Amino acid sequence: FFSFIAASLARLHGSSMAEASPQPEPPKQEAEAPAPAPAEAPAPAPAGGEEDDNAPAPEEEANVEFTPLVKLDEVKTTTGEDEEEVLFKMRAKLFRWESDSWEKEVKLWKERGTGDVRFLQHKETKKVRLLMRREKTMKICANFFVVPTISLAENAGSDRSWVWQCHDYSEGRDGTTETQYSTLAIRFANSENAQKFKEEFEKAKEANKAAGMSGEATGAAPAAAAPEEAPAKEAAPAADAKE
């Protein structure tokens, strides 16, 4: 009987201790990050070596060669300026006093071109010539030696234009030395440029005089090419136009 009572008391004591000291809660587990989705495997090639019509076509590089019908050989051209030194260069507009295209007895100023007028001195002979080419086309519109007998004069009183007469070689063709005794006029953007041109023109005359040139490049002008009367009272061509 006493053992039964002792066992009952022990059970009651154990239950009361369990109620007095609660058991600790188990630790919470952190939420795991979702695993990445597996990459899709490439679609298997069709069996039997058949091609997929929906598959993109592979890019191909075009390799096209064109053969010219006519083969042209490279031609070297010379300007004749390789042995010369540029002493002066300035942009200007050139005119020539000549007969009208329709009425030969009527003379007027005709524009020869716009471009850089240059004084070129030969490295050996030290002779100086004036050379002017048209812009873009590079066609020669003036080419003559600045001999001491050439004199500049104001063109109709303009302070930015000069007129003179000379044997011009610009019309020579096929390597010939064809000359034409011409009355030329040149116009600059302002009077300062015109004065610089005149100074260089006089220096060129002195250089050619020192080089032994006294008249025209081919000697004294022949009687058939005597200078015509210059148009002293002719108005300067388009004197108010901008260069």
Report the alpha-carbon distance of residue 54 to residue 92 in Å, rounded: 70
DSSP-assigned letters across all residues of 35-47:
PPPPPPPPPPPPG
Amino acid sitting at position 37: A
- DSSP bridge partners of 94: 113, 186
Query: How far is residue 177 from each of residues 11, 61, 110, measured CA to CA in Å?
Result: 144, 58, 23
Q: Shortest CA distance to 162 belongs to which of 184, 182, 136?
A: 184
Tally of CB atoms within 10 A around 165: 19
140-169 pLDDT, tens digit each:
999 999 999 999 999 888 899 999 999 999
Average pLDDT over residues 100-125: 90
User: In the chain, what percentage of residues exceed pLDDT 70?
Assistant: 62
pLDDT in tens, 191-224: 999 999 999 999 999 999 999 988 655 443 332 2
Can you give the pLDDT at residue 100?
79
Task: Give the integer Cα–Cα distance in Å for 132 and 235.
Answer: 23
